[in-house]
């Protein structure tokens, strides 16, 4: 687990309650916070000390500027794990085959943020949303399920670092048992650090909803003092 002391955390200069909480925790652990506005023209920093935390584009641009590699889960990780963990059918396709989907269906881009992830009622609705994208753009498709509660878990070096319920009222202790078992069985698929969002599906139990990169994930109730340990390891 990396020592935060004297590491520089680059984050957007726009005030944000969760990011501010992370900044305070970073400084508490001996790190330095550098708030950057014009991230396309960032200040010169000692690259080997720089860590990143912010939006997708913020971190992608700064990673290039500072010659850093962002550590992220594979875009198709959801389809690599067993449905024992997802509790629902998930498959990968492309927009070229979207006419054949069993609408209504939940669709999300394989590469995050390309278009809105949601339930699409018909092909036209999805087509309108993705009209500027190539027909070979990969998408993840899932059967529609009823999610009662949601929790976020930060993972580092194959260990659960922090977990919190951010939607609903199902028992967090059972979500913690579930994610611990998931990590134990799938450690070889999980990067050094990532965020796993869990959902309690009605009549099926806790499930893996999606994977996120630590460098771009909000706290959603997790302990910032623990999460900063994950952020410190989210680039190389």
Domain locations along the chain: 8-65, 77-82+146-212, 89-142
- What class, spelled out in words, does domain 89-142 have in CATH? alpha beta
Q: Nearest CA to 161 among 1, 3, 49?
A: 1
Instruction: Work out the average pLDDT over 41-70.
Output: 96
Instruction: Work out the average pLDDT over 124-152.
Output: 92
Query: What is the per-residue pLDDT across 177-227, written as a single tens digit (0 to 9) for each?
Result: 999 999 999 999 999 999 999 999 989 999 999 999 999 999 999 999 999
Query: What is the per-residue pLDDT across 60-110, written as a single tens digit (0 to 9) for each?
Result: 999 999 999 999 999 999 999 999 999 999 999 999 888 888 999 999 998
Which residues are paired to 205 by β-bridges? 201
| Choice between 112 and 126, residue whose per-residue pLDDT is larger | 126
Q: What is the DSSP letter of 96?
A: G
Q: What is the pTM of this model?
A: 0.91
H or E element at residue 28: helix 17-28
3-state secondary structure of 171: coil
H or E element at residue 186: helix 172-186
Instruction: Work out the average pLDDT over 142-158.
Output: 95
CA 137 and chain centroid, separation:
20
* pLDDT cut 70: percent of the chain above it: 99
Residue 21's CB is within 10 A of a number of other CB atoms, namely: 18
Among the CATH numbers 3.40.50.1240, 3.40.190.10, 3.30.470.20, 3.40.630.10, which is that of 77-82+146-212? Answer: 3.30.470.20
Q: Are 207 and 88 in contact (CB under 8 A)?
A: yes
Q: What does pLDDT average to over the chain? A: 94
Q: Reading across the β-sheet that carries 8-12, which strands appear in turn?
A: 32-36, 8-12, 50-52
Q: Are 68 and 52 in contact (CB under 8 A)?
A: yes
Local confidence band at 1 (pLDDT 50, 70, 90 cut-offs): low
């Amino acid at each position: 687990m990396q020592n935060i002391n004297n590491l520089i955390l680059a984050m957007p200069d726009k005030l944000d309650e969760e990011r501010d909480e992370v900044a305070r925790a970073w400084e508490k652990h001996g790190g330095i916070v550098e708030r950057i506005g014009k991230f396309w023209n960032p200040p010169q920093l000692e690259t080997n000390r720089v860590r990143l935390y912010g939006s997708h584009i913020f971190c992608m641009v700064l990673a290039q500027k500072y010659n850093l590699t962002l550590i992220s889960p594979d875009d198709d990780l959801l389809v690599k794990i067993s449905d024992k963990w997802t509790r629902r059918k998930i498959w990968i396709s492309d927009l070229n085959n979207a006419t054949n989907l069993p609408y209504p269906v939940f669709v999300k881009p394989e590469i995050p943020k390309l278009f809105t992830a949601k339930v699409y009622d018909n092909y036209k609705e999805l087509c309108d949303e993705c009209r500027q994208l190539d027909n070979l753009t990969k998408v993840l498709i899932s059967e529609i399920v009823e999610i009662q509660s949601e929790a976020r878990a930060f993972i580092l070096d194959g260990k659960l670092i922090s977990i919190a319920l951010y939607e609903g009222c199902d028992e967090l202790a059972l979500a913690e048992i579930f994610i611990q078992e998931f990590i134990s069985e799938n450690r070889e698929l999980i990067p050094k650090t990532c965020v796993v969002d869990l959902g309690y599906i009605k009549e099926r139990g806790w499930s893996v909803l999606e994977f996120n990169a630590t460098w771009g994930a909000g706290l959603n109730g997790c302990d910032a003092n623990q999460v900063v340990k994950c952020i410190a390891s989210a680039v190389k």
